[in-house]
Amino acid sequence: MLRIRRLSEGLVNRIAAGEVVERPAAAVKELVENALDAGATRIAVVLTGGGAARIEVVDDGHGISGDDLALAVQRHCTSKLGDEMLVRIATLGFRGEALPSIGAAARLHLTSRPHGASHACAIRVEGGQVSAVEPAPGGPGTRAVVADLFFATPARRKFLKHPRTEGEHAEQAVRRLALAAPGTAFRCEVDGRVAFDLPAQDRAARVAALLGGEAAATLLPILESRGAVQLSGFACAPTTHRATAAHQSLVVNGRPVRDPVLTTALRVAYRDVIPAGRHPVVALYLELPADALDVNVHPAKSELRFQDPAGVRALVIGALSRALAGGAGGQVPALDPAGGQVPALDPARAPMARPGLRLVSSRPAQPRYAGFAEAQLPFTAGPAARRLPDPAPTVQHPLGAAVAQVLDTYILAVAADGSLVLVDQHAAHERLTHEALRAQHAAGGVRMQPLLLPAVVDLPHADALRLLAQAEALRGLGLDLEAFGPGAVLVRALPACLGAPDPAPLLRDLADELAEADEATALQARLDAVLARLACHGSIRAGRRLAQAEMDALLRQMEATPRAATCSHGRPTVLKLTRAEIERLFGRR
């Protein structure tokens, strides 16, 4: 019979190391968290070989006294958690596991000097072997060097990816902490390249610096609360989206987290304004009372449990949806070929300021060269551009007044402040129709327009059955369908707001859409996708000539419609070139 025995401290540490330092990025994260917990105002990280060969983290925090160094590298030794405190955790670390785990799996050299101490002290832990504490050279603060990660745990070393990949993950870990702590200066160097070097700054500047200039230009400020929970930060307009979620920074009480409640809420908020499978760029900060949250879920501490997940979800979805629902006037991405400077974003100080919004002056622009232009410029009606005979006076609307239709596809408008506005008429109208359908459906049912002559549409047998099986639900969407022998469907009515679309391609598309879902929940689950398909069929096509009144009506509707800056597939519907941008393009600035 096998006897039970107690595991050695070294083995326990190596087991814990497997959870705490799963890869170089995790070790880097733990060390930077320690620096932040120590109140550092500057943190410098240098990674070699993606962090697997060497990690160095230097901070100017309060340091560790020589007497405490030996304890710091022992398991379950921490200065951060008193008894009874597990319900209100205010520091990033609290488990006293990181340093012993790193020391068990790698070679850890820790040098520290508390402010006011006459000299620094150092300790080494290599594969669990702890050295004596010795005096050492070093300035105030702490310097942790981790070399040969996993040399003592070869099983784990085999799972290391290419140094470039490990380096990317590690850099990402530092970036996430730098976004969480903008008041601390951060420098991060990866294999000889300076990934970023940022001074202490406000949150808006930090977000702009780390999320990239192009994304930063479309960020919408968020600031809302619900009870004791506050959500703030920035979320991108729907025109900015990425292939992965790597550009999402979620910070809860100062701690970067990956949390399914938050990521699901994000997905729901952006579901129908960006293309499926794409991810928004966000930097969101949630603050809530420490006891409404449990961060002690996993040794890596990046998972958490909310006491009221439904409330948090509602806050995130509500705040983002409201920010995203601004009419198109508020979310037009500026054309900025020169790269441009990053706008100052500060939701706390200017909750209504939107980086993409150009305020329209109340004084109409002077049509200074109107007569001259008339006489001199060869801007005549041609195949490509049709100038409107009598452009409406430039009025005080964010999207301005239509002045021409280009290629029978794009509306060219001029806003009162002189901005040029270019609208993709099909994409824009598709979004308007989609929103109209959605609003009618939410209000009880999509209005039907009976056809003068019911249409017979021939379809593959399975498609016809699929549509007829959902006939009842489709009535709620404004379609009246009946069986008409094998492989045919009789269409008696279509949604009124679609105009008079050709029913055959519309039904084929709907059948495809239904085929993608499973039987029972088919329509409900894909309702919005179905509405989007309908909208596409009911929208004015590219290539259709529009009257001026139609164009202006479209612009006004766009301003009044939620999510109108992108079409139902997430592409932009409108581009805007401001006077300043035009002047820059012409080298006048």
Residue 5, classed as helix, strand or coil, is: coil
Among 22, 42, 95, 308, indicate the residue that binds ligand ADP (CB under 6 A): 95
Q: Give the one entry of ligand ADP, Mg ion, none that residue 59 binds, where binding means its C-beta sits below a cut-off of 5 to 8 angstroms depending on kind.
A: ligand ADP
Residue 476's H or E segment, with its range, is helix 471-476
Total residues contacting ligand ADP by CB under 6 A comes to 21
Nearest-CB residue to ligand ADP?
93
User: How far out from the chain centre does Cα 555 lie?
Assistant: 28
Among 49, 61, 66, 330, indicate the residue that binds ligand ADP (CB under 6 A): 61
Closest distance of CB 105 from Mg ion, Å: 15
93 binds Mg ion (CB under 5 A): yes
Site string for ligand ADP, 394-433 (x = CB under 6 A): ----------------------------------------
Tokens found for residue 306:
């909310």
User: How far out from the chain centre does Cα 364 lie?
Assistant: 37
Among 16, 24, 34, 438, indicate the residue that binds Mg ion (CB under 5 A): 34
Closest distance of CB 46 from ligand ADP, Å: 15
Closest distance of CB 58 from ligand ADP, Å: 9
96 binds ligand ADP (CB under 6 A): yes
User: How far out from the chain centre does Cα 540 lie?
Assistant: 31
34 binds ligand ADP (CB under 6 A): yes
Residue with Cβ nearer Mg ion (34 or 561):
34
Among 15, 22, 53, 79, indicate the residue that binds ligand ADP (CB under 6 A): 79
Tokens found for residue 35:
């620096």
Closest distance of CB 171 from Mg ion, Å: 20
Give me the residue label for tokens 């909750």. 351
Neighbours of 192 (CB within 10 A): 8
Site string for ligand ADP, 130-149 (x = CB under 6 A): ------------x-------
Residue with Cβ nearer Mg ion (63 or 93):
93
Helix axes 163-180 and 24-37, enclosed angle (nearest 10): 20
Helix segments in 184-289, DSSP class H: 203-211, 213-216, 260-270
Residue with Cβ nearer ligand ADP (16 or 323):
16
Contact assessment for residue 385 and residue 406, using Cβ atoms and an 8 Å cutoff: yes
Distance CA 475, CA 472 (A): 5
Alpha carbon distances (Å) from 579 to 259, 443, 452, 576, 589: 43, 42, 50, 10, 11
Residue 418, classed as helix, strand or coil, is: coil
94 binds ligand ADP (CB under 6 A): yes
Most distant CA pair in the chain: distance in Å?
Answer: 105
Residue with Cβ nearer Mg ion (36 or 558):
36
Residue with Cβ nearer ligand ADP (38 or 282):
38
Residue 334, classed as helix, strand or coil, is: strand
∠ CA 105-107-110, nearest 5°, is: 120
Closest distance of CB 138 from ligand ADP, Å: 12
User: How far out from the chain centre does Cα 512 lie?
Assistant: 30
Q: Give the one entry of Mg ion, ligand ADP, none that residue 72 binds, where binding means its C-beta sits below a cut-off of 5 to 8 angstroms depending on kind.
A: ligand ADP
Please choose, out of 44-52, 87-95, 427-435, 518-526, the segment that lies near ligand ADP by the rule CB under 6 A. 87-95
Burial class (CB in 10 A: 0-12, 13-18, 19+), 389: exposed
List residues binding ligand ADP (CB under 6 A).
30, 34-35, 38, 59, 61-64, 72, 78-80, 93-99, 142
Can you give the binding site for Mg ion, defined by CB under 5 A? 34, 93, 98
